[in-house]
Structure 1
Amino acid sequence: MASPNSNEAYDFALFEPKRQHEEPQKKSNIIELPKEKLEQNRRVKLNPFRVVSTFLAFGIMISIVGTMVYGQVQLTELTENLNAATKTLNESESVYTQLQMKSDSQLSLQTVENYATNKLGLKKIEQNQVEPIALSKGDKTQVVQNSGDDNWLTSLWNSILQLLS
């Protein structure tokens, strides 16, 4: 252990006021380049790979946008054609309905009866115009069945046919 009268254990320099040290001037971080080097650094260096890749990227983007625009134009044209065809179909169905109604009205039973009576001079049938006719009694048909006197080969064949059916 240290003796009590020694000051080795204490650092009194910590309690003393700090001195302001004069720091030497810092070196300047500015580097002076000759004018030739400045001009060389100012020029844009074109990397051929970068130029080609940029050109390809823009080309691909423009082609994608062009394809989308072309598709939208085609879609619009097809929609317009479909709408025109639908309109024509509706008009044709309307004309068909009108002609069907006109045809039905011209061919109705009442119209045909009026035409036959007024234009052709026909009249409805009367009882004295009806003549009964007699038809023959008809022909008779008869189905002939086998009597069952088959030989054993025919009966064997028929039994095989019955099993298979």
Structure 2
Amino acid sequence: MANRAEAYDFSYFEDRNKAEGYGTNDYGAVDYGIDGSHAYQPMELPQAEPEPKIVELPKQEPEGEPEQRHRPKRNLMRMAAAWLCFGLIFSAVMTAVYSEVQLTELTEKINEAKKDLEEAKSLEVQLTMQAAQKMSDAEVERYATEQLGMGKVTGSQVVYLHVAQQDRGTVVQELGEGSWLDRAIAAVRGWFA
């Protein structure tokens, strides 16, 4: 730093000091005099025009094209991602609700089937007992005598057949004479018959 004026910005004070009639020294400070009063009028020094202060800002893209090109793509992608997430969550919730509804319906069907099964078992027991009563020996005899007109077997109903021991079968059709080998085999069979 060459001097204090470069280190501090006294422009605010200069305007006020000029309005009140005070001068500044070489360093840009207010010159009040020795005892703190302004016993003399300070001499105005020629002042050089202050150099404009240049502050470099970060480079910005022009407001027009590039920023607008990137922003819609980014917003579009964010919106698409949000809709995708919403769709996934919505479909998961709907799947869970649908599963619960199906589970409830199937549970009701199972309960109805169990009730029908119990009724069928009860009916089976009743029908089995009725069938057992109808199939007893006494019931079969009663049905045979009353409905079919049957009775117990008597001696007059038995017929015996006597078969004579000498009965033989006769050949109705003669076979044609075959070869000498066939005749020899037939003769041997005849001896053992």
TM normalised by structure 1 equals 0.46
> Higher relative CO (CA 8 A, sep ≥ 6), structure 1 or 2?
2
Q: TM-score of the superposition, structure 2-length normalised?
A: 0.40
| Larger radius of gyration between Structure 1 and Structure 2 | 2
